[in-house]
Homo-oligomer: A and B are copies of this chain.
């Protein structure tokens, strides 16, 4: 049973226009224009409080944005619209299990949709997809589960719906490694078998890289569509009119071109950072930071390797090729030097 998924650029699954969302007087989301393609898997990356969950709630039409419009398949939609209600489902960050058995939790969505056939078989399948045994778990009560088991039951309750859009808010936050793999597989299968569009927020970059077509990076409510980038937060000191510096506690200094408007956070794109083994004599505009590699992960899609470099208490990310790794003899623990130009900075 293979479906033919057509991804037309003209009519994306989602189109967000001039979205702003406020809690009280605080703006937590500010998105000019964002399109999410049908059948794509989008990763959502960003620090705590950057607005991931808020964005997912908007995409689920569980909340109305304070300002702006959200089009789903070209149509402007609002919460509770019946045309979307049964198609889009969200796994919330703190999934709530109904005070019922696991079985009844999982079939809840089906019952709402008045589907009553083969419930047992479908539940068994959904549980299997998240690595739980039907015999062992179906009759348990909501409170008789460990944290990760509860999370996976909630995931099963979403998978059973075969949704058009599956929004996952930290689906593997308390899930073990093996189950994380299962959830990845289930997500990929959803796209393959049902053409599901997925948006997934997670702090586990390695896992996210292994599943997404592309990443959106979100910071303070602003979206960067290039995936994860290096963020350097203040405080900065003024060195002269045109430059700011950040002093690390171990004495190293980062020099950056000052922003034109007031801004407090610097973004240095990973593509602008190079890596070498030794310091070179350079001019003052080039930052040279020494640190060591803490991890090297495979980004499946591009077959490139993402390395995390610890520079005192900063953690910076660079892209490496297998070639480079062999040439420089890189491995986790190896000391390296990072280079980037002080004008290669964006401020927000």
Q: Does A333 contact B (CB under 8 A)?
A: yes
Q: Which residue of B lies closest to A48 (CB)?
A: B148
Q: Does A115 contact B (CB under 8 A)?
A: no
Query: Which of A53, A170, A295, A313 has most chain B Cβ within 10 Å?
Result: A295
Q: Does A146 contact B (CB under 8 A)?
A: yes
Q: Does A330 contact B (CB under 8 A)?
A: yes
Q: Given A147-B48, A203-B177, check contact A322 B326 (CB 8 Å).
A: no
Q: Provide the bound-state CA to CA distance between A303 and B333, in Å.
A: 7
Q: Closest approach, in angstroms, between the C-beta of A127 and any C-beta of chain B?
A: 13
With a cutoff of 8 Å between Cβ atoms, the chain B residues found around residue A331 in the complex are 296, 305, 320, 322, 325-326, 330
Q: Does A293 contact B (CB under 8 A)?
A: yes
Q: Closest approach, in angstroms, between the C-beta of A183 and any C-beta of chain B?
A: 12
User: Are the CB atoms of B179 and A170 closer together than 8 Å?
Assistant: no
With a cutoff of 8 Å between Cβ atoms, the chain B residues found around residue A58 in the complex are none
Q: Provide the bound-state CA to CA distance between A23 and B149, in Å.
A: 15
B176, B295, B315, B329: the one contacting A297 at CB < 8 Å is: B295
With a cutoff of 8 Å between Cβ atoms, the chain B residues found around residue A297 in the complex are 294-295, 332
Q: Provide the bound-state CA to CA distance between A322 and B297, in Å.
A: 16
Q: Does A342 contact B (CB under 8 A)?
A: no
Q: Which residue of B lies closest to A298 (CB)?
A: B332
User: Are the CB atoms of B178 and A203 closer together than 8 Å?
Assistant: no
Interface code A179-192, partner B: CB below 8 Å = 1, 0 otherwise?
11100010000000
Q: Provide the bound-state CA to CA distance between A145 and B205, in Å.
A: 23
With a cutoff of 8 Å between Cβ atoms, the chain B residues found around residue A144 in the complex are 23
B93, B315, B332: the one contacting A305 at CB < 8 Å is: B332
Q: Which residue of B lies closest to A293 (CB)?
A: B298
User: Are the CB atoms of B148 and A295 closer together than 8 Å?
Assistant: no
Q: Does A206 contact B (CB under 8 A)?
A: yes
With a cutoff of 8 Å between Cβ atoms, the chain B residues found around residue A254 in the complex are none
Q: Does A152 contact B (CB under 8 A)?
A: yes
Interface code A35-50, partner B: CB below 8 Å = 1, 0 otherwise?
0000000000011110
B49, B176, B181: the one contacting A148 at CB < 8 Å is: B49
Q: Does A18 contact B (CB under 8 A)?
A: no
B53, B315, B329: the one contacting A178 at CB < 8 Å is: B315
Q: Provide the bound-state CA to CA distance between A295 and B334, in Å.
A: 15
Q: Provide the bound-state CA to CA distance between A164 and B326, in Å.
A: 46
Q: Does A85 contact B (CB under 8 A)?
A: no
Q: Closest approach, in angstroms, between the C-beta of A161 and any C-beta of chain B?
A: 23
Q: Provide the bound-state CA to CA distance between A46 and B48, in Å.
A: 26
With a cutoff of 8 Å between Cβ atoms, the chain B residues found around residue A174 in the complex are 48, 93, 170, 173, 203
User: Are the CB atoms of B147 and A177 closer together than 8 Å?
Assistant: no
Q: Closest approach, in angstroms, between the C-beta of A333 and any C-beta of chain B?
A: 5
User: Are the CB atoms of A181 and B53 closer together than 8 Å?
Assistant: no
Q: Provide the bound-state CA to CA distance between A146 and B303, in Å.
A: 33
Q: Does A175 contact B (CB under 8 A)?
A: yes
List 18 contacting pairs A-B, 8 Å CB cutoff, sorted by A: A47-B177, A47-B179, A48-B146, A48-B176, A49-B145, A49-B148, A49-B149, A53-B147, A94-B94, A148-B203, A180-B203, A206-B294, A210-B294, A292-B298, A293-B298, A296-B331, A298-B332, A326-B329
